[in-house]
Structure 1
Amino acid sequence: MARPRRSESTRQELLELGVELLSVNGYNGTGLKQILDAAGVPKGSFYNYFASKEAYAAEIIEFYMGNLLRMFDMVIDNHTGSPVQVIRFAYRNMITHLEEGSCRKGCLMGNMVAEIASSSELCREVMCTMYKGWRERFTLLLEKGQQQGEVRNDMPAETMTDLFWQQWEGALLRMQLEGSTAVLEDSLELTLDRLFRP
């Protein structure tokens, strides 16, 4: 018996739904039945798209981070300001988006790292790959800022990139705890205006 043809629109819908559900409920708090009911997809059809829930989660992470990286690339390519202005613009847009979501979601990848990086090698590998993609972009911006005298040059750009990621993810956790994006604004300004300045 022939397997049903895959529909790319259904696959896209499942990935978008997965981002929403995993952002709010986490991996362990999101059941496969909940996903299928929300999408109106039979269980058998789900496995035409994804080999398992773990494989689905890995693709959700790649989909989510891929979208963020494409948006970051658009800002980098189209913003006419300095490297620090580009970073500030991109992250203030992110803060606005998080505020519109009532501060409930945080960063899907950061949440997934905390929840399943130690138990799913597949998801961990995808998260490492996506982090490296972000790290390369951010480091290039800081190196450009160093060349222009806008960013301190007594510390490697890679080190500052890692510090930014670590403080931003910590600030996202506090945002979820306190229900306010004020901590993100403070974190962004402290990093850009004090830690990174020459």
Structure 2
Amino acid sequence: MPVATRSTDTRRIILDTAQRIMARKGYAAVGINEVLAEAGVPKGSFYHYFASKDAFGEAMLKNYFADYLTDMDGVLAHVGQSAAERLMAYWRQWRETQSVEECQGKCLAVKLGAEVADLSESMRLALKEGTSEIVDRIERTIADGLADGSLSVDSEARELAQALYDMWLGASIMAKIHRSPAPLDTATAVTRKLLHL
């Protein structure tokens, strides 16, 4: 295997391992040594891949959002479904991923958002960029639903997309607090009302 490929693979292994651990524990509670040990990467090689823990956190969030947006694009691009069906499939997937393991979820925006926004400007900006791209996709799907007649809304598509994302993010946090998917079920019901479904 070429050195560049090995280097890219090792970097990805570190990022994927960190994402799994931090989705459970948070950012501050996880040390680099824990990530490297679980990834099976020698301790001394961390700074070969990342200049600092902040640079590592930023890279992890960018990696997470790249994967998330690819998955989201797959859900929102299902051929043969109306925009309303595709958008509701996205929310169903969200509910499923946030209700696992006693509502501990898999979303780094939920787990790390409030924690790192005050700790690291580069990580805050990575979160801002990633979540903005999610809202962009929701907005486009709402606009598609208005065009294909599968949705009707009482506000601008962008405003509604932002409100829906904010509501689902808040519902995910409440699901974690209550260890119950009930807030996600409420978000689903309110989403259907806002989209007139």
- TM-score by structure 1 length? 0.89
Matches within 5 A, 1:74-153: 74-105=74-105, 107-153=107-153
Deviates more, 1:103-112 or 1:123-132: 103-112
8 Å Cα contact 2:98-2:172 kept in structure 1: no
Aligned residues: 194
8 Å Cα contact 1:21-1:30 kept in structure 2: yes
Equivalent residue number for residue 27 of structure 1:
27
Equivalent residue number for residue 73 of structure 1:
73
Matches within 5 A, 1:33-48: 33-48=33-48
8 Å Cα contact 1:160-1:196 kept in structure 2: no
d(CA) in 1 for partners of 2:24, 2:154: 40
8 Å Cα contact 1:79-1:86 kept in structure 2: no
8 Å Cα contact 2:78-2:86 kept in structure 1: no
How far apart are 1:106 and its partner, in Å?
A: 5.1
Deviation sequence 1:111-155 (CA, Å, 0-9, x none) = 222001123111111112112211211101111112233333431
What is the RMSD of the two structures over their aligned residues, measured on CA atoms? 1.9
d(CA) in 2 for partners of 1:153, 1:92: 20
| SS of alignment partner, residue 77 of structure 2 | helix
Equivalent residue number for residue 171 of structure 2:
171
Matched letter for residue 150 of structure 1: S
d(CA) in 2 for partners of 1:52, 1:79: 43
d(CA) in 2 for partners of 1:43, 1:174: 37
How far apart are 1:161 and its partner, in Å?
A: 0.6
Equivalent residue number for residue 61 of structure 2:
61
How far apart are 1:189 and its partner, in Å?
A: 2.5
Equivalent residue number for residue 194 of structure 1:
193
8 Å Cα contact 1:106-1:173 kept in structure 2: no
d(CA) in 2 for partners of 1:92, 1:47: 39
Confirm whether residue 17 of structure 1 aligns to residue 17 of structure 2.
yes
Matched letter for residue 85 of structure 1: E
Matched letter for residue 162 of structure 2: D
- TM-score by structure 2 length? 0.89
d(CA) in 1 for partners of 2:101, 2:38: 19
8 Å Cα contact 1:65-1:109 kept in structure 2: no
The gaps in structure 1 that reach 5 residues or longer are none
